Amino acid sequence: MRYLPLTPADRAEMLARIGIPAVDDLFADIPAATRLAELPQLDRAKGELEVERHLARLAGRNVPAGSVPFFIGAGAYRHHVPASVDHLIQRSEFLTAYTPYQPEIAQGTLQVLFEFQTQVAELTGMEVANASMYDGSTAAGEAVLMAHRITRRRRAVLAGNLHPHYRATIETLARYGGEEVTALAPAPEGGADIAAALGPDVSCVVVQTPDVFGHLVDLAPIAEAAHKAGALLIAVVTEAVSFGLLASPGSQGADIVVGEGQSIGNALNFGGPYVGLFASRMKFVRQMPGRLAGETVDAEGRRGFVLTLSTREQHIRREKATSNICTNSGLCALAFSIHLSLLGGAGLERLARLNHAAACDLADRLAAVPGVSVLNETFFNEFTIRVPGSAVAVVEALARQGILAGVPYARLAPDAGLDDLILVAATETTTTEDRAAFAAALKAVVTGSVPE
């Protein structure tokens, strides 16, 4: 039996029924530049053993993150995840078929989600958090839609130093929802006047801290200006370990806090799955997307857990749903909660201090390289350097020297005209030897003294 047992007549009948002339019309909303004009040049058929060997050869071209000095960040960070996390997430009490619809047989999962919400609320300084979302960027997009519902306004202002991938996700959701987005220009050296972009039609201001260039942003004056204009402040955090050292967004006046929780309990995993964090003021809880797990008692008075709020289309009528997000990152949220529980408050602070110390040491070393400058006065574990010439060329040259040096900003925002900037992250996984090797290799590359 063919995998897709449809005849040309079958396809023609289906297209006629939905009223389009060709299959390609189903993909009209995808920009033409991102679609393939023809099938890729691949063999039409190969044996399983041949495919395995071919894929193994391709995989062998990768450089594993743990095998060389690694300084890549830009929204996804390499941290040490204790072996105990992977062991505990496999325990039977946390195994639930897809989603905990039947609370009586899903108490372990529901309790974890409840504890996860509590942890996220405490980290962000907010009053309530939901039971996780897909990732940080989609959480940011959902926060903007939530702000539109609360304020009944339809324009969002995005800080220029918001991660370009987060900006693109917000813009995509806004475009198909009929919303308006004003994205400010990036300011690599910080200090942009975000408040100047506010107006009576603005529902929210979206600000990242630490921002994509690593600058720490004082949210308090931005929150004050936003509230004065009747708008909400949405704070974005892509590096969850920073919660261990920096003032929480909630304590600085944020109304909604979203972020990426990958840094705690979750390895890089070739890009996912990750875990979105979402927290807000209690007065906005009815407009939160996703779902909330709550604590209750059963008929015999024993402590128990249930899904308290599920305002998503899978549970209620589509037109009354706050979101079409139909699941959560339950396993990733479980890993997050277990790792954070093992660390505790003191452990998270110590981990954060180790990250900051490593970044300070690296910044000093790189700033001493001729022709290289560090743009940041403040940062947590990530900062931006300016290099002579093309940042992409420098990073590629360093990769050939066995150093994964960071992310050229031009790869995140090709049209920004910031081709000489590299985002550099140093976590607790980098050693003094790694940082010294990076500085030495960078010096050799920018001075043209790399050995053949």
pLDDT of residue 38: 86
| Mean pLDDT value of segment 28-48 | 87
| Mean pLDDT value of segment 58-74 | 91
Write the pLDDT tens digit of every residue in 284-343: 999 999 889 999 998 899 999 998 887 665 566 667 777 777 666 888 999 999 999 999
Most confident among 30-39, 89-98, 109-118, 350-359 (mean pLDDT):
350-359
Of 43-47, 156-160, 447-451, which range is least confident? 447-451
- How sure is the predictor about 97, in pLDDT bands with cuts at 50, 70 and 90? low
pLDDT of residue 451: 58
SS (H, E, C) the chain: CCCCCCCHHHHHHHHHHHCCCCHHHHHCCCCHHHCCCCCCCCCCCCCHHHHHHHHHHHHCCCCCHHHCCECCCCCCCCCCCCHHHHHHCCCHHHCCCCCCCCHHHCHHHHHHHHHHHHHHHHHHCCCEECCCECCHHHHHHHHHHHHHHHHCCCEEEECCCCCHHHHHHHHHHHHHHCCEEEECCCCCCCCCCCHHHCCCCEEEEEEECCCCCCCCCCHHHHHHHHHHCCCEEEEEECCHHHHHCCCCCHHHCCCEEEEECCCCCCCCHHHCCCCEEEEECHHHHHHCCCEEEEEEECCCCCEEEEEEEECECCCCCHHHCCECCCCCCHHHHHHHHHHHHHHHHHHHHHHHHHHHHHHHHHHHHHHCCCCCEECCCCCCCEEEEECCCCHHHHHHHHHHCCCECCEEHHHHCCCCCCCCEEEEECCCCCCHHHHHHHHHHHHHHHCCCCCC
